[in-house]
Amino acid sequence: MLSATNGRRSRRPPRSLRAEYDLFIEQRIEEYKDSLPRGEILEIGDEAMKELAGAEQFLLTEVVLRDQVDAIIRRRLRLPAFRRWRDKYVALRAAQSEATHWGLAPHDPAAELGLLVEDNDHVLVVGASDGACALYLAARGASVRVADPDIAAVYGLESRAVTEQLGARIECEVVRLDWFDPSDVKFCACVLELGSLATMGASERAELIRRIKQATPPGGRHAVMGASPDGAKGAARLSSDALRSHYADWEIIKAPAQGARKPRPSGFTAIRPDSETR
């Protein structure tokens, strides 16, 4: 599991390519089923029954029928065999595992967090923004939970996650952040996007950060992103520097400046101490 002291720890083995392939096939089939009206699903069921009736089938069960329905859908969608999928997948994941692929600078707090996460580490992302942080961390192997009050931003992220073959690693929740209860979410690290926080009042924002800090395990990290270059979703109204006071009791690692003439606030990483004075 991700911890504040990276280096002297054994890393969990990543999910096998076969397991990733099975998830890819399952997701594509379920998405297709969800897109069909009930009548068409029943027609596929009838087709599956006819195919099974013509085969040597000693016991027809619900599982056998479901598998045959999936086989028919797989043929319709012309889903690739494992070897063909593997060749494309390996190249895709190699590109996706680079922060720059998503428009993140190498020293952005979320980019550095991605270098520390292990396979299936749970990461909370507060604010969908353009989806770059969530998608990058998912590509690095994290299981990502996104909370954002903007339904359009969430739907956009979910759609892009499916296109990027990362849908199985990202779960989104449309929720008002002043109501959001992070104690119900399992996570070892958190990314805070300024855009969603900028829409909150100062007291509501402080209370949200307090709740997230409280739910973060010892050694856990918060990656507070800097202002987006285009000021998307109102992030220009809030600087990451304005949030540093909320982490006075945590270790703070400030991201280096990006080298622009007038550098924008580049964000920071805050690490919860392993032991705290109460």
Residue 172 forms beta bridges with which residues? 146
Query: Average of pLDDT values for 48-58?
Result: 76
When pLDDT is cut at 50, 70 and 90, the band that residue 144 belongs to is very high
Q: What percent of the chain has pLDDT over 70?
A: 85
- The whole-angstrom separation of Cα 70 and Cα 111 is 38
Looking at per-residue pLDDT, the higher value among 143 and 120 belongs to 143
Query: Average of pLDDT values for 101-124?
Result: 93
**Over 80: is that where the pLDDT of 7 sits?**
no
Contact status, residue 194 vs residue 127, Cβ threshold 8 Å: yes
Pairing of strands 122-126, 143-148: parallel
| Residue type, position 265, single letter | P
Long-range contacts of 99-104 (CB under 8 A, 24+ apart): 99/136, 101/136, 101/139, 102/132, 102/133, 102/135, 102/136, 103/130, 103/132, 104/132, 104/133, 104/136
**Over 50: is that where the pLDDT of 5 sits?**
no
Query: Average of pLDDT values for 49-60?
Result: 74
When pLDDT is cut at 50, 70 and 90, the band that residue 216 belongs to is very high
Q: How many other CB atoms are there within 10 angstroms of residue 226's CB atom?
A: 22
Residue 268 forms beta bridges with which residues? 224, 254
Structure tokens at 137: 């961390």
Contact status, residue 110 vs residue 223, Cβ threshold 8 Å: yes
**Over 70: is that where the pLDDT of 278 sits?**
no
Task: Tell me what the pLDDT averaged over the chain comes to.
Answer: 85
Given this model, what pLDDT does residue 57 score? Answer: 60
- The whole-angstrom separation of Cα 217 and Cα 66 is 42
**Over 60: is that where the pLDDT of 128 sits?**
yes
Which of 94-98, 135-139, 255-259 shows the lowest mean pLDDT across its residues?
255-259
When pLDDT is cut at 50, 70 and 90, the band that residue 1 belongs to is low
Residues for the chain: how many in total? 278
Domains, the chain, in order of start with CATH, read 17-82 (no CATH), 101-271 (3.40.50.150)
Write phi, then psi, for 120 (nearest 5 degrees).
70, 15
**Over 90: is that where the pLDDT of 62 sits?**
no
Looking at per-residue pLDDT, the higher value among 84 and 134 belongs to 134
Which of 35-39, 87-91, 146-150, 207-211 shows the lowest mean pLDDT across its residues?
87-91
